Structures are given as C-alpha cells and as structure tokens.
Structure 1
C-alpha cells in the first residue's frame, strides 16, 4: 500500500506559528523532505522532533523527485516542507505534488502560515479579490511582458521579491503602472517585522535610502477602471494605516486622495465623520 505525501505548513519566522496537527504529522512520518534542511532542522530541534531529513529543492528536484515517489510507492509516509509557509507555492513542491497524483499517491494538506495571506491582510488594501503572481521573471523580454500584462489587472496584486531586486522592481512598476498604493512586508512574524505602506513612489524613495534585508512580499493596488470606487470606510483605513507607518497626517491624506482621484478635503471629511 502506498504511503501519503503530507504538505506541511511551517512558520514564516516565529517558531510558535505552527499547528498541533503539523507537529503530530512531523513526528509520525517516515521521512521529511525539506527545501532547506538547515532551517528545518532548527524547527525540529525546537520541538524535539527526531526524524530522517532529506533535501528537496529547485536544484535537485529532477533527481530527488523520482526517489521520493519510489519511497511513497513503497509505503513510506513523507512530509514535504518549504523554507517557510506552505509548500507548493513558488517552490518545487508543485512538481512533486503533480508526480505523486500521477502515481495515485494520496496528497494530504496540513495547512499553516502563508506569506501571501499574511502580507495581504495587513496591507490595508482591498482583500475581497486578489491575484498572486509570485516572483516576476528576473530579466529580459519575459519580465517586460509580464509587467505590461499585469498593468490592467484590477484585483489587488501580491508579489514576492528578493531584497537586492526590490528597488528595481518598485521603479519598473511605477514606470509601467503609474503611482499606486503599495504595502511591502519584510521579516513577517519575526522580531524585526516591518510593513511599509505608501505609494510606489514613496516606497522607492524609502527603500533606496534603507536597503531591505530578507525576502519581501509586495501587495500592490490593482488597476483602477478610471479611479477606484470611493468607499469612505476603506479610505479612512488607508489613512490610518499610513499614519501608523509613520506618514504625517497631511501626507497620508494627500496619498489616499491621489489614489481615489478625489479632493483631499473629501478624504479629510470621511475621517472626521468616523470620529463623530
């Protein structure tokens, strides 16, 4: 009888962000396949879990994938974990899941943290409809075409980016999409967690002066049909989020007014009405 492939969500940074079920599965499986064995070993050590560990990442997936499928066919239960969050999202776990399903192996999700959802819900941007794009192509025509294609996407966009490419990406998005509201999450759930909220223009200025560390998650406002539908409650939330991020009230009001294509006094009035 074939084993099970468990997709186990692991913490983004704070080791306490793990479910009881995930801990049980990690203790019970025969093998744990990890994108970064050093990072996973820290997690296992923290919870006193002692199980065989093997690497499965972008550079060895073609060789290691068939090995893991063979073990699963032999009846071994395997837990797949990524660097952080849910495996299978912008990592080679996607390929392993596909091959396991082809081989009639049961794939079991064990939900856990997600950088996509974590960044989205703290962004202050609309969450009703969003699209996840992962990492943009690094260079060339493919990158230019992808950015151009997304310029008319009206849903909130979520992107991943490496710290050394962040400024370049912000600049290219600003040039191609115009100035939009953006939130940039860094070191999410960790000791030095920060979420920058502003516009693409102000974000570019900030991160050129303050180069980031750690992988970043960008949440960018979608393209307006003409101007975004003005919902006073959402406008007030954006003003408050900008102020909490350190923006002066006058600047926060001006940024939100530009975003909605409305006079600043209208945004100011909405804020006053909330206080009343």
Structure 2
C-alpha cells in the first residue's frame, strides 16, 4: 500500500531574504519536495534556489495557484496519492492568509491528505504585534472599497464596530493606493482613535508608527507603492 504524501504549507520570507530566518524544517521541506503549487513561478523558483542552491530546478513540477480553478483538484493533488509531498507557496508570507491557497488546503482535507504547516512570517501578525493595539480581539478585513463614498461608509462601519466590541481592525491596500487610503483614514476616523501604519516590514526602510488620528494630521509620510498594513482601534 502506497503511503500518501503530505501537503506542506510553506511560508515565504518577507522583506530581505536572510539565511538567519531559515529553519531546519523549512530547509528539509524544500530539499525533499519537487511538486509545488505557487502564486508566481519565477518568485517561487527564486525562493527555492535561495533555500537550497544545489537543488535541480529542472526536476521541479510547478503549477500556478491562480489557474487552479481551471484544473481538477484530483489532478493537482495526485502526487500526494502516489506518495509524494507537495509544497504550497505564496509570494510573501503565509499561504492562505490574505494570499491564495485556502482552496488547495481545503481540498486536501477533503481527500484525507495530511496538512503540515511550517512556521514562518506573516506581515499581518507582525504588524499587529508591533502596533500596541488590542491583540485579544482583532479582525482582518482585507481590502476596503475603492469608490470614495463606499470607502468612507466602510471606515465608519469598522470604527463603530471597533468601539462597540473593543476590537482592533486590520486592512491592506494595493500599494499604489496607500497614500490615498491613509489620507481617507485620517480624514474619516475620530481624532482620538488610534491608527497604526506598518510599512516595509522586515526591510531596512521599515516604518511602524501608532498614534492618535489627530496627531497623524500633523504627520507627513510617503508610503506609495510600499507594502503596508493599516490598523486602527477606538
């Protein structure tokens, strides 16, 4: 009887690639896995080569997550049925957390394939733990609406929710719209609400600032096209 392979959920380093952040578990996984489901093939190959420079890239079997809906999950997970492990990789941070991959993991569960998550960085959690805001109750809300009226309404909705439930609210934005979102948050939130901006986490130009909204009105920063997490709490 063939023993099933496992689905390894492999976090990708965020910020600067540095060997000091690589665990033995991560090294062993990359060394022993040749089947991958990834967000971006070029970035995945770069990461795999960084972790294991001697690994033969020609033997890698890589499929793109964004194309999975057009494929059959049975085919995608077939290597596991044959006793091979599969690695799930996103471009940065943890697969399935504000990144593609949850459909793959659920499909593996439904097929009784063992899931093996590897410890690694999440910019959302790193921002949250660096914000100083309530970490006992918090909500990640993804992206806010683009249209101004809907954006303002959503900000007010989440601010009200934060106040009623004492819950920290977390958001991300497409990097080229960061400055616009920051301006709208400062303009819309109550002056005494706390706002954290966590940008370029784990990079040399990292910026993490938490202060009351009325103080943000006196602060000038440029986070255009910089990966950023926005957090606020009443």
TM-score, normalized by length of structure 1? Answer: 0.69
Cα distance, 1:121 vs structure 2:
1.8
Q: Which range moved further: 94-103 or 163-172?
A: 163-172
Higher helix share: 1
- Match of residue 39, structure 1, among 39, 43, 65: 43
Query: Where do residues 103-182 of structure 1 align in structure 2 (5 Å cutoff)?
Result: 103-139=111-147, 146-151=154-159, 152-153=161-162, 154-179=166-191, 180-182=193-195
Measure, in 1, the Cα distance between the counterparts of 2:201 and 2:149. Answer: 32
Structure 2: where are the runs of 5+ without partners? none
Structure 1 residues 140 and 212, CA gap change in structure 2 (3 angstroms): closer
Q: 1:158 to 1:210 in 2, by over 3 A?
A: same
Among 216, 223, 226, the alignment partner of 1:214 is 226
* Count of residues in correspondence between the two structures: 220
CA distance in 2, matches of 1:202, 1:155: 21
**Equivalent residue of 1:80, what SS?**
strand
Write out aligned runs for 1:181-260 (5 A).
Answer: 181-200=194-213, 203=216, 206=219, 210-221=222-233, 223=234
Contact 2:43 2:91 in 1 (8 A): yes
Q: 1:72-91 deviations in whole A, cap 9, x for unaligned?
A: 33332101111111111122
Tell me how large the CA RMSD over aligned residues is: 2.7
Instruction: Find the counterpart in structure 2 of residue 250 from structure 1.
Output: none
Query: Residue 88 of structure 2 corresponds to which residue in structure 1?
Result: 80
Write the distance in 1 (CA, Å) between the matches of 2:98 and 2:87.
18
The aligned residue for residue 238 of structure 1 is none
Compare CA radii of gyration and give the structure with the larger one: 1
Aligned twin of 2:9: 7
Which structure carries more relative contact order (alpha carbon 8 Å, separation 6+)? 2
Counterparts of 1:215 and 1:45 in 2: how far apart (Å)? 24
